[in-house]
Amino acid sequence: MNSTSLEKAIEEAYKAYASLVHRRCYAILKSEDEAWDITQEVFMKLWKHYNKIQEKAALLSWLYRVSTNLCISRLRKKSAIELDPNIPDSKADSGEKQLVLKEIMEKLMKPWNEKVRQAVVYIYIDGYNQEECAKLMGVGESTLRRYLTKFKRLSKNLDIAYLEG
């Protein structure tokens, strides 16, 4: 692909996906500025890797995967998590739910296997169901359940059942 075609492809992808990428970055980071930073980083990565991506008709999974990892890396660099309850959230989470989500984010900053981390973010932060999450990750639902089981097994003190209920 020549540079003009590539630039055009990235522009089209940006117009189609950037708001979705930004939405999920905001769901994790709870900061407009940081979500915008990461969104730009995601599309710079898309530009650099575009020729290697085979499933161009289904870029969403790739973009979500990369944005999740970049958001977690960003959180890890911060000394403390700042989930400001005053920031309006589209899901209108209750205080209790915010607390559980905060605990999940704290857990995720520890060195998890990347796939486990992806699954936890899709299910508990983004609110996808297991079928959707499995499709996004390109794995079977049984594999997804194993990722979640692993997270739960190593996060025994976390009240995940609250989110599942």
Identify the sign of the CA torsion 130, 144, 44, 30. positive
Is residue 43 a contact point for other proteins (CB under 8 A)?
yes
Name residues contacting other proteins, limited to 121-140 (CB under 8 A): 126-129, 132, 135-140
What is the C-alpha to C-alpha distance for residues 164 and 26, in angstroms, rounded to an integer?
22
Closest CB to other proteins among 115 and 152?
A: 115
DSSP string, 49-82: HGGG-S-GGGHHHHHHHHHHHHHHHHHHHSSS--
How far apart are alpha carbons 126 and 136 in whole angstroms?
Answer: 12
CA proximity to 40, closest of 71, 79, 2, 9 = 71
Residue 14 found at the interface with other proteins (CB under 8 A): yes
Q: Give the x/- contact pattern for other proteins in 60-79, rule: CB under 8 A.
A: x----xx--x----------
| Residues near other proteins (CB under 8 A) | 3, 6-7, 10-11, 14-20, 22-23, 36, 39-40, 43-45, 47, 49, 52, 54, 57-60, 65-66, 69, 90, 110-117, 126-129, 132, 135-140, 142-143, 146-147, 150, 154
